[in-house]
Amino acid sequence: MDESFHEFEAELKSLRLRRPSAGLKEHIARALAAGDTAGPVRRYSSATNLGGWKWHGWQLAGLAAVVALIAAAGWRNLSRRDTATPAPAPASSNAFAVAPVPAPVPSASPARLPGVAATNVLYDMKDEGPVYLDGDRAARRVRYRFLDTYTLRNPRTNASLKWSVPRDEIRVLPASLN
Amino acid sequence: MEEAHAPGSWSTWFEAHGPRLLLWARQWTRSLADAEDVVQEAFIRYWRHQRELPGDPQALLVTSIRRAAIDLARRDARRARREERFGRDEDAPFFEPVPGDNAARRQEIEAALRRLPSEQREVLVLKIWHELTFEQIADQLGIPLNTAASRYRYALMALRKELNSLCHG
């Protein structure tokens, strides 16, 4: 290196770097004290931050849809029962009359929503660094983030419901850290 | 940097090394707030999972910060649009005033530093303020050792030339 640069390098080194804000230190202290293994508490929301308001919004919307569907199905059942009161059977003169065969029970009641599809999409994978199992076995902790989507459909009414739930899966994979 | 291995002393350690970590994060982020987020994420990950690992903690953190910053930049394109509308704090200075220093000179250095090509500036930051060797810098950035050394030299030359032209112009 050019000797003439030494003085200039020394001048650069003498500059005092901007210090992190007190807020940053507080956030770190809080996160470390909490011992939260899910990662630091971010001060911003992002697409991969499942704790964000929008995910709560989706969860609430899903819950509201399920409640509404159950309520609608219940109301339909109730109204059918009220209108379809069975007529009294005529008195039979034949003592040996065969007992009436009960009407076939529909295979799917209006309220029933069997699952017809389930998918999951891996949208994020993050290596969270090395961990040690039993004190000495090296491994890496990897977080996989999925969006699981279940589709439920009533075959009679063709009404369907899609339910998407975010899911985190943490895998500890054996690894050599050498 | 060895004191980083002592348990429970994160506050002291961070007090000493936080400023240079923040400066490094700012090479990769659009704002001071983003840089602090990135430092926070990398430091917590380091302190929880990596501080028992052998090697230079600073090198680990430098890598970790760079990755976290790149991740943030990729996934937060929306933030960029928002910042375009509401302004950014990217002009928050890199350096703090010291009693008796030459404020004009400090500001000129910072302005010249910001105008450097990013690949030169990152080598300069790692060499001057993180005190890494060229070998460590090359390893961190995934470039040949000679490239790291030449980028550093070009950065110093460019800085000095610009500051001289300011002095004499």
Q: pLDDT tens digit string along A113-133?
A: 788 888 888 888 888 888 887
3-state secondary structure of B159: helix
Show the beta-strand stretches assigned E in B35-107: 95-96
Question: In which band, very low, low, confident or very high, does the pLDDT at A79 lie, cut at 50, 70 and 90?
Answer: low
| Predicted TM-score (pTM) of this structure | 0.52
φ, ψ for residue B46, nearest 5 deg:
-60, -50
More confident of the two residues A56 and B78: A56
pLDDT value, residue B169 = 54
pLDDT value, residue A97 = 43
Question: In which band, very low, low, confident or very high, does the pLDDT at A35 lie, cut at 50, 70 and 90?
Answer: low
- Summarised one tens digit per residue, pLDDT across range B51-63 is 777 777 888 888 8
Interface test with B, best of A1, A9, A12 (most B CBs within 10 A): A12
Name the stretches of chain B with pLDDT < 50.
1-5, 85-86
pLDDT value, residue B76 = 64
Helices (H), chain A: 5-14, 22-34, 53-83
Q: What is the residue whose two structure tokens read 């980028």?
A: B151
Length of chain B measured in residues: 169
pLDDT value, residue B108 = 92
pLDDT value, residue A92 = 44
Residues of A within 8 A of B53 (CB-CB) are 130, 177
Task: Say yes or no: B143 contacts chain A, CB-CB below 8 A.
Answer: no
- 8 Å CB contact between B62 and B138: no
Report the distance separating Cα B169 and Cα B163, nearest Å.
10
Q: What is the residue whose two structure tokens read 């928050």?
A: B92
Q: Positive or negative, the Cα torsion across B155, B158, B164, B166?
A: negative
Assess: ipTM above 0.85.
no
CA distances in angstroms from A81 to A101, A106, A131, A156, B93, listed in the order given: 20, 15, 61, 18, 75
Whether A28 and B43 lie within 8 Å, measured CB to CB = yes
- 8 Å CB contact between B71 and A47: no
More confident of the two residues B41 and A106: B41
